[in-house]
Amino acid sequence: MTPNTQAGMTQAFVRSTNLALVLDRITRESGSVSRADIAGALGMTRSTVSRLVDDLVLGRLVVEGEAIGGLRGRPAVPLSLSAGTVVSLGLEVNLDRIVATVVDLSGATLGVAKEAIDALDLGFKATMAIATRLAGRLLGQAPDQARLAGAVLAVPALVAKDGRSVVRAPNLGWDGLDPSSMWDVTFRGEPVPLRVANDVDCSSLTLIQESPDASFLYLTGEVGIGSAVSMDGQLLSGRHGWASELGHMCVEPGGAVCGCGADGCLETVVGRPALLAASGQKDLDALCIALDTGDERALLAIDGAAKALGIAVGGALNLLDLTTVNLGGHLGVLGEWLNPLLAAELDRRVLWSTYSEIELASVSQAPLRAAMGAGLAALAHVHADPAAWVEPLLER
């Protein structure tokens, strides 16, 4: 390599890194950040930031708003992430549903398609055929000028680190399968590659989007119990990407056998079927009504759930020093009855609970979040390397 090409590569690397830093500032404060704010935050000169912002605007990743102020100095032009110019496909397969979404760089959801299914009854091939159909239909409605960043499928499973295959899915039973082998979706004549990701990690990305430096434990109740941990806005992934499986923490040694093969896992006590069986109710609505009317068996079931959650969540908080626990799925819906009991358990079990408050929050729209977050995951490489998306438009 000649010194000149080396210098050229270094320059390209610096530019690419700087574009990503500027885009990150705009992502964090979309709609309320100006060139001067970014220059101040990043310690760059205003002219350097201005050139980088101009390129992001020409590359259609960022848009300028109406100038505001201007009594003293130049008026500030607020910068936002561009809507509808770069989009991605986010999908979720769960036991009872398939959800497909198209999201854009601004985080807006441009389209949603849902279908209720029985994934165990349908099997892998037929389920993926429905996912393919929903995805094709949604992409057909994407804005004319949109570029597609990719597609991610969220599954209740441990997935391979490269996002190619499902490793272990105790409730779905897709162990070792590669969903992209059953995927045939094109966008403007080009095949759309598909990656897989853990569903709760994807859901957590929507919470991080709302609060970019958030630290929390996210616990969501479906048939199983999914969980994820965010530390300062970064998902805790572990060495293989398999961290945060709180649903398989043992809370009852010698208890019921779990889908994973072990006994007494958290999800054997607070997973939806387990909780409904313990309360003697046929579905979640019936359970809520029973709790409202003070049904003794239903209240006892919630008490048992709070104790089991107290062991698992208390252990996680002692280990990780997190103060926010976000509850989704049926755990979020049951918050009114569950949270006071769980809070008491955590007060007792978490060593530092008298010094720092533990916040229990119910997450709204939990069933949509995995698919929306999968879309955000598919956009991650645009945020990591905006130069790759900007340069083709600058060369025209």
Among residues 137, 68, 89, 52, the alpha carbon closest in space to that of 386 is found at 52
Q: Interface mask (CB under 5 A) for Zn ion, residues 297-316, using x and -?
A: --------------------
Task: Please report how close the Cβ of residue 258 comes to Zn ion at its closest, in angstroms.
Answer: 3
The CA-based angle 385-375-80, given to 5 degrees, is 60
- What distances in angstroms separate CA 155 from CA 40, 107, 123, 160, one per listed residue? 41, 21, 14, 12
Looking only at the bridges linking them, the beta strands covering 194-198 and 147-155 are parallel
Residue 341 CA to residue 67 CA, distance in Å, equals: 51
Comparison of 271 and 332: residue with beta carbon closer to Zn ion: 271
Task: Please report how close the Cβ of residue 262 comes to Zn ion at its closest, in angstroms.
Answer: 5
Longest Cα pair distance anywhere in the chain, in angstroms?
Answer: 79
Among residues 185, 158, 209, the alpha carbon closest in space to that of 100 is found at 185
Task: Please report how close the Cβ of residue 263 comes to Zn ion at its closest, in angstroms.
Answer: 8
Comparison of 260 and 286: residue with beta carbon closer to Zn ion: 260
Question: Any contact of residue 260 with Zn ion (CB under 5 A)?
Answer: yes
Task: Please report how close the Cβ of residue 187 comes to Zn ion at its closest, in angstroms.
Answer: 38
Question: Any contact of residue 265 with Zn ion (CB under 5 A)?
Answer: yes
Please give the DSSP secondary-structure letter assigned to residue 247.
G
Q: Interface mask (CB under 5 A) for Zn ion, residues 114-143, using x and -?
A: ------------------------------
Q: Interface mask (CB under 5 A) for Zn ion, residues 221-250, using x and -?
A: ---------------------------x--
Residue 44 CA to residue 51 CA, distance in Å, equals: 11
Task: Please report how close the Cβ of residue 249 comes to Zn ion at its closest, in angstroms.
Answer: 9
- What distances in angstroms separate CA 337 from CA 293, 298, 306, one per listed residue? 12, 10, 10
Comparison of 55 and 245: residue with beta carbon closer to Zn ion: 245
Among positions 134, 219, 246, 258, the unique one binding Zn ion when judged by CB under 5 A = 258
- What distances in angstroms separate CA 232 from CA 84, 208, 209, 211, one per listed residue? 28, 9, 12, 10
Comparison of 258 and 366: residue with beta carbon closer to Zn ion: 258
Count the site residues for Zn ion by CB under 5 A.
5
Among residues 176, 183, 219, the alpha carbon closest in space to that of 199 is found at 219
Comparison of 215 and 268: residue with beta carbon closer to Zn ion: 268
Question: Any contact of residue 171 with Zn ion (CB under 5 A)?
Answer: no
User: Rule CB under 5 A: which residues touch Zn ion?
Assistant: 248, 258, 260, 262, 265
